[in-house]
Amino acid sequence: MSSVQHPEQKSEQKSPFRRWLTGVAQSTDLGMLPVIAALIVIWAVFETLNANFLTPRNLSNLAAQIVVTGTLALAEIYIILLGMIDLSIGWNSVLAASVFSLATVFFHLPVGVGIVLGIALATGIGFLQGMVVSRIGVPSFVVTLGGGMIAEGLTLAILTPHGGSVPLADDFTTAIGTLNLDPLWSWVLSLLLFGGYAAVTLGGIRKRAASGHEGGFAATMRLVGVAIMLFGAVFMLNAYRGVPFLLMLFLIALFASAFVTKSTRFGRHLYAVGGNAEAARRAGISVKGIQLAVFIIAGFLVGLAGYLDAARLGVASASVGNGDIMLNAVAAAVIGGTSLFGGRGSVYGALFGALVIASVSNGMNLLGAASSVRFIVEGLILLAAITIDTILRLRRMRSGRA
């Protein structure tokens, strides 16, 4: 035994649960726990006030409502993990949608070409913004503020001659926006997904245990939690019409992002750059390369979000950009536990943060509350989330660790 050890870490005799609980109490990074707890409270409150809230039908609505906010929040989380911010995601997504509508409705191009054009444009904008941020070093706040304004101007230039909005009529987009996955397929897919996840997790635990090290209690608990959430969601959605295709596309983007950020070298480097760019540079990581790549990925997701939004609404409309989609996405990212100081958070925050935002507005609508009340409640939740983030950061600094 060496003396380089905290006294409170001599907890070998405690049960795994007690040790986990102590870890949470002293933790400076709570992960998804606060937002899941908040979600449970919000759902319980709305269900008490209106028994229509937790019905399969309303939850299906909710599932479709989180898609655009969630996908944009996912893009924003990538950027925030770097310690930066992207204010252009709202208008860039609308621009992608309007380019898609222009290509398919007015130039009669195939749907696939329209989708590629829209997403490629958003990705290209991400690339340009990333170049300015990483090579020249202009703060992302300003670059994306300007980028968003340019995107707004371009969107208006495209859509205003057509009355500000272009209805979409192609079958593929309508299907994506309105149809659901067959219940049998959703069970098969979710079982396959969970099976793969469980195999990887259990494999890791077994490998550690085989070499005489303790298996992960936390990992097992997480596995159980994921099973409950995944199968619960599939069950509820199948009780109505099934899993919406929109949700499927968002979840594919989410799980792919989870893989990229948690399990690949690129993801590790992304967190390193967000946590301590100088340390990452000295370790031989190309900080500029990571920053550029992140802006490109975020641009791609923004384009995807634009298409999903157009598919959901059946129209490419400039008024969407005037709404609060960008601020909702930033709020969802922060509520989902992503630290604005960079390097801390998880892409799953996009899912849970978007669920919180959508649940509040959905629940308020059910109650017939005025949008004034809705904004106040959402604002309070956002403030609570950022306060938790700041308190955790203060805790780290007080112990000299930030």
Residues in the chain: 402
Figure out which of the listed residues 16, 55, 208, 324 binds another protein, where binding follows CB under 8 A: 208
CA distance 138 to 161: 34
Among 31, 146, 275, 289, binds another protein (CB under 8 A): 275
CB of 398 to another protein, least distance (A): 12
CA 76 to chain centre: 7
Subset of residues 188 to 207 that bind another protein, contact rule: CB under 8 A? 204, 207
Binding mask 250-269 for another protein (x = CB under 8 A): ---------xx--xxxxxxx
Q: 10 Å Cβ neighbour count for 314?
A: 14
The C-alpha atoms of residue 71 and residue 58 are separated, in whole angstroms, by 20
| Interface region with another protein, contact rule CB under 8 A, candidates 21-29, 50-58, 177-185, 245-253 | 21-29
Which residue in 2, 13, 48, 372 binds another protein (CB under 8 A)?
A: 2
Closest to 357 (Cα-Cα) out of 390, 402, 327: 327
Q: Is 9 in the site for another protein (CB under 8 A)?
A: yes
Q: How many whole angstroms separate alpha carbon 389 and alpha carbon 296?
A: 27
Q: How far is the CB of 352 from another protein (least distance, A)?
A: 20
Supply 361's token pair.
């507005």
Measured from the CB atom, the residue of 117 and 285 that comes closer to another protein is 285
Burial code of 349-372, b = ≥16 C-beta within 10 A, e = fewer?
Answer: bbbbbbbbbbbbbbbbebeebeee
Can you tell me the distance from the alpha carbon of 350 to that of 66, in angstroms, rounded to the nearest whole number? 9
| Contact pattern for another protein over residues 212 through 231, marking x by CB under 8 A | -x------------------
Q: How far is the CB of 40 from another protein (least distance, A)?
A: 26
Least separation, in Å, of the C-beta of 388 and another protein? 16
Q: Does 82 bind another protein (CB under 8 A)?
A: no
**Inter-residue contact 32 to 350 (CB < 8 Å):** no
Instruction: In angstroms, give the least distance from the CB of 375 to another protein.
Output: 33
Residue 13 is a binding residue for another protein (CB under 8 A): no
Nearest C-alpha neighbor of 315 from the set 174, 166, 171 = 166
From residue 395, alpha-carbon distances to 8, 28, 95, 383, 391 in Å are: 16, 7, 42, 18, 6
Alpha-carbon distance of 231 to 243, in angstroms, equals 12
Cβ proximity to another protein, 273 vs 315, nearer residue: 273
Give yes or no for residue 29 binding another protein (CB under 8 A).
yes
Binding residues with another protein: total (CB under 8 A): 44
Q: Is 402 in the site for another protein (CB under 8 A)?
A: yes
**Interface ranges with another protein (CB under 8 A):** 1-6, 9, 26-29, 204, 207-208, 211, 213, 259-260, 263-269, 271-272, 274-276, 278-280, 282-285, 343-344, 396, 399-402
